[in-house]
Amino acid sequence: MTSDGGRPVPRRPVHFGPEELEAHGGTRPGPAEATEVAHQTAAILVGAGRAAHDPQVTSRLVALVDDLGLPTVADLWSSRPARTLPGALWRLYALREWVQRRPEEASREYVAGIRFTDVAHAVAGIAEPPRPEELRRVADQILAGVFDGDLAIALERAAAFCAVTAAGRAELAHDTEGLDPAGASGLTRSGGALLATGEDLKACANLWRAGDLD
C-alpha cells in the first residue's frame, strides 16, 4: 500500500487477544516461551537497526508503536524486568508514546523540574525553551539513538528526562496540594514511578557498556 507520493504507508495489523487467538486455533505461549520471544525480538530489533546504518530504517523503528500499537508492544515486552533489553525498550517506547500524545503536559512537567535538576537537564539535551514540539523531537531523537548512535547515551538521556520530569511532577503536586489533594497525590505517585524508571534506564546503560544487557 502506498500514499499518493509513492511512499509506503504501514498497514495496521489485526490485533488478537488470548481468547481470539485460541478461537482461531492458536495457543497461549507458556512463560518460558514468552520470555524467550521477548528477549529474542528485542535483540533482533536492536541488532538489525544498528547494522542497517539507514536513516529510513531508524525512522521506521522509532515509529514502531505508531504502526503496531502500544498494546502489541506491551504484550511483547512489558512483563520483562526493567533492567533487561526488552524491559528497557518497552520503557523507551512508552515514554515516547506519552510525549507524542501529550506534549503540552510533558512540557509543563519538564519545565517545572528543570531548576531542581540542572545536571539531568543538561544530560537530556533539551533546548531552551523546552516547548512541546521540542519535547516531541527529543523523544524521537533519544529512541533513534538506540538504533543509530551510542545506545548507552540514549538510555542515559532518557533517564535524565525521567529525572527532570519526576521532579516537575513533585513540584506541581506541591503547588496544587491545597486545591486538589487527589490530583497532587496522583502526581506524587506517578513522579515516584517515573523516577524509578529513570534509575532503571541508567542501570541499563551501565549494563550495555559492560556487555550484560540482554
In this prediction the pTM is: 0.85
What pLDDT is recorded for position 10?
33
| pLDDT grade for 31, boundaries at 50, 70 and 90 | confident
C-alpha triplet 157, 161, 165: angle, nearest 5°: 170
pLDDT tens readout for residues 80-101: 999 999 999 999 999 999 999 9
Nearest to 109 by CA among 97, 119, 121: 121
User: What's the rounded Cα separation, in Å, for the pair 173 and 116?
Assistant: 14
User: What's the rounded Cα separation, in Å, for the pair 152 and 110?
Assistant: 22
Average of pLDDT values for 169-198? 96
Ramachandran region, residue 204 (left: φ > 0; alpha: ψ -120 to 50; beta: rest): alpha
C-alpha triplet 202, 36, 46: angle, nearest 5°: 50
pLDDT at 7 over 70: no
User: What's the rounded Cα separation, in Å, for the pair 42 and 46?
Assistant: 6
